[in-house]
Amino acid sequence: MTIISNVTCPVCGSLCDDIELHVENNEIVKVRNACGMGESKFLNYNGHRLRKPLVRKNGELVETTTKEAVRKSAEILADAAYPILYGWSSTSCEAIRVGLELAEEIGGVIDNTSTVCHGPSVLSIQDVGYSTCTLGQVRHRADLVVYWGSNPWSAHPRHIERYTTFTQGRFQESTWYRYLAHLSAYRSRRRLLRALKLSSLRKAPLHSEVEHGLPPTLFRKERKMIVVDVRRTRTADIADYFLKVEPNKDYEVLEALRTLIRDEEIDVDKVAGVPVETLEELADIMMSCKFGVIFFGLGLTMSAGKLRNIDTAISLVRDLNRYTKFIIMPMRGHFNVTGANVVYTWQTGYPYAVDFSRGYPRYNPGETSVVDILARGESDASLIVASDPVAHFPRAAAENLVKKPLIVIDPEHTATSLMADVVFPSAFVGLEAEGTAYRMDHVPLPLKKVVEPPSDCLSDVDILQRILDGVKEIRREKAEVA
Amino acid sequence: MKVTLLTGRTLRQGQGKEQGKLSEQYWKSVTVCEMDPDDMKLLGISENENIKIATENGSVVLRAVKSIRAPHRGAVFVPYGPWVSLIMNSKTHGTGMPSFKGVTAEVDRAPTEPVLSLPELLKQHFKKE
């Protein structure tokens, strides 16, 4: 048995790089340090995987050879007038680079999953800029951590433990013990209440613990955490304070906080269901911290206002920087979605939704973004790499995606691969293939190869390169004939 | 009953998707609709009973479960997945981003309708030309 340490986990944007894997006979038998999602991937990745290339014949997906699948894909892409190349956030930067070359060669639109994730954040950052830092800085120095519209306990399970309040920083203590004390106090209270209910004191006020104002822990100097969300998430349970806002009203709360920070009056009693006094206290806490950070999630980008929510969040941080040090960072979902934005930008100048149909890169989200193109029914073929748009795009977009020739490169069967015309089984990047990925704070980390892939599973880079060569050959032949 | 539909990630959905989109765990994790217990009482829905959730773009059958994140009267939560995506609107208002959160929807009992498996769902809703 071999033990491989310092493995980077290819699941979420936190990109934890301290995973230890025990490998026996080309199989991962034990995982240490990973979260529930990471462990689930390391131990079960082989369960529903694809092992042979597939091609659709008479309405059914049948096994074929890699050569045949490459030929068919190259034909589809070379013949297409306005193809879509989508996915890219769960593969390596090296594969994305080949994908961009392919998009330019066939004059297609290349887009990554940030288009339905943090696309609005990218648009806002382009509009107003943002002050940010690496997660190491947050770990060692941040004394106020705000998670706004994001639920790291479920989506980035080790984010809190590795980078924010539960980590022991050089200048900031972990609040783990405080949380444990809080938890045991909560349990005793529950026990007491249950005893009261069963005893003769039935009329005792069971819910007397109505909270007035902000909890005292928020006013201490040490590290503290605030969660702002529309429902009490698991992350909210471990925060010092949970601020509940009404759905689709984050914009109002952000603007109210900006108003209060500028020392202006608000004429109403409540904003989005939050009393103005609470917001005043919150604004004070934000202004009086030493190093604050706002991590925002899809609660801001996916609800009403979209990029305008991010605009105000960034502007709030800019206002706060007049008083103290404050930074803001999007909670990126897939492990290399940041890498996709980075590689796109250095190759084409734009981070996502890049249209090569005129021979040069063009970028206009809303027009050149994949969901819009599909909803309008403009594309005539698609190549999907390591993504599942049939499962995650709105109905009309997914319907139009399925209607046209569809090529999928994915290690596993997904809703998209089940509807595809050509399916390539690929090696899992970070498990069976090497590569580079970018963490959510734009730090590049190497992904390791820890086991060998099945014989017919090539790496994404290899498959894309073969398709690209195939397309070039077809175009050369066509040019010669002409 | 009119509700605000929120979608998002859950840890179980994350674990399920890593086991495979055709796995039992994935199906179990994304075909649920977390509702406020008081709302369920109002509609006469019991735990794990099938419900139909509809928007202007269509409807889908899911299982209702009591939300441990309650109270959130009038709001329901469904994890991301092919089931809930079916009832989302493709309009992006020029941003490239559809609205997946804070969507107006209608929830009703559907005791006789089944929750479809992924292949059945695809077969029923998507046609390959």
* CB atoms A48 and B22 under 8 Å: yes
Q: Block means of pLDDT (10 residues each) for chain B, length 129 residues?
A: 93 92 94 95 94 95 92 93 95 91 94 94 85
pLDDT for the residue numbered A206: 47
* Residue A64 within any structural domain of the chain: yes
Residues A371 and A399: beta-carbon distance below 8 Å: no
Closest CA to A440 of A135, A8, A197: A135
- Per residue in A293-328, pLDDT (tens digit) is 999 999 999 888 999 999 999 999 999 999 999 999
Picking from A288, A311, A330, the residue at the C-terminal end of a domain is: A330
- A206 shares contact with chain B (CB less than 8 Å): no
* Residue A28 within any structural domain of the chain: no
The secondary element (H helix, E strand) that includes residue B2 is strand B2-8
The secondary element (H helix, E strand) that includes residue A467 is helix A460-481
A90 and A128 housed in the same domain: no
* Residue A308 within any structural domain of the chain: yes
Picking from A297, A330, A363, the residue at the C-terminal end of a domain is: A330
A175 and A231 housed in the same domain: yes
Q: At what angle do helices A66-79 and A93-106 cross, to 10 degrees?
A: 50
Rounded to two decimals, the ipTM of the complex is 0.95
For residue A310, what is the domain's CATH number?
3.40.228.10
Give me the DSSP letters along A230-282: SS--HHHHHSSEEEE--TT-HHHHHHHHHHHHTT----SSEETTEEHHHHHHH
Smallest Cα distance from B120 to chain A, Å = 11
Q: Worst-scoring range by mean pLDDT, A105-109, A132-136, A301-305?
A: A301-305
Mean pLDDT computed over A340-355 = 96
Residues of B in contact with A157 (CB under 8 A): 11, 14
Q: Edge-to-edge strand order for the sheet containing A406-410?
A: A60-63, A54-57, A422-425, A406-410, A382-385, A84-87, A109-112, A354-355, A362-363
Residue A210 has pLDDT above 60, yes or no: no
Nearest by CB to residue B23, choosing from A48, A59, A157, is: A48
User: Could you give the CA distance from residue A439 to residue A449 in angstroms, rounded to a whole number?
Assistant: 18
* Residue A33 within any structural domain of the chain: no
* CB atoms A36 and B87 under 8 Å: no
A325 and A340 housed in the same domain: no
Contacts of A264 (CB under 8 A, 6+ apart): none
* CB atoms B90 and A123 under 8 Å: no
Residue A212 has pLDDT above 70, yes or no: no
pLDDT for the residue numbered A208: 44
A80 and A229 housed in the same domain: no
A263 and A359 housed in the same domain: no
Smallest Cα distance from A224 to chain B, Å = 22
- A413 shares contact with chain B (CB less than 8 Å): yes
For residue A445, what is the domain's CATH number?
3.40.50.740
A433 and A352 housed in the same domain: yes
pLDDT for the residue numbered A209: 46
- A320 shares contact with chain B (CB less than 8 Å): no
A191 and A251 housed in the same domain: yes
* CB atoms A232 and B99 under 8 Å: no
CA A329 to each of CA A132, A338, A395, B65: distance values in angstroms, whole numbers, following the listed order: 6, 12, 31, 33
* Residue A16 within any structural domain of the chain: no
**Fold (topology level) of B2-125:** Barwin-like endoglucanases (2.40.40)
A183 and A325 housed in the same domain: yes
A111 and A124 housed in the same domain: no
Mean of per-residue pLDDT scores for chain A = 93
Residue A393 has pLDDT above 50, yes or no: yes
Residues of A in contact with B125 (CB under 8 A): 395, 399
- Per residue in A166-181, pLDDT (tens digit) is 999 999 999 998 888 8
Q: Worst-scoring range by mean pLDDT, A186-195, A276-285, A369-378, B24-33?
A: A186-195
A367 and A470 housed in the same domain: yes
Work out how many domains chain A is built from and give that number. Answer: 2
Domain that holds residue A295: 119-198+212-330
User: Could you give the CA distance from residue A63 to residue A73 in angstroms, rounded to a whole number?
Assistant: 15
In chain B, domain spans: 2-125
Extract the tokens encoding B51.
């419900």
Give residue A384's identity as a one-letter amino acid code: I
Disruptive mutation site among A31, A37, A399 for chain B (greatest number of B CBs within 10 Å): A37
Compute chain B's Rg from CA coordinates.
14
What DSSP state is assigned to residue A427? P
> What's the pLDDT band for A202 if we cut at 50, 70, 90?
low
Residue A157 has pLDDT above 70, yes or no: yes
> What's the pLDDT band for A201 if we cut at 50, 70, 90?
low
A179 and A267 housed in the same domain: yes
A181 and A167 housed in the same domain: yes
* CB atoms A395 and B86 under 8 Å: yes
**Chain A / chain B CB contacts < 8 angstroms:** 193
* Residue A7 within any structural domain of the chain: no
- Per residue in A447-462, pLDDT (tens digit) is 999 999 999 999 999 9
Residues of A in contact with B93 (CB under 8 A): 306, 366
Q: Name the residue in chain B with its Cα closest to that of A396.
A: B90
The secondary element (H helix, E strand) that includes residue A29 is strand A27-32
Smallest Cα distance from A36 to chain B, Å = 6
Nearest by CB to residue A393, choosing from B85, B87, B101, is: B85
Picking from A281, A308, A330, the residue at the C-terminal end of a domain is: A330
Extract the tokens encoding A157.
């399970």
User: Could you give the CA distance from residue A93 to residue A177 in angstroms, rounded to a whole number?
Assistant: 39
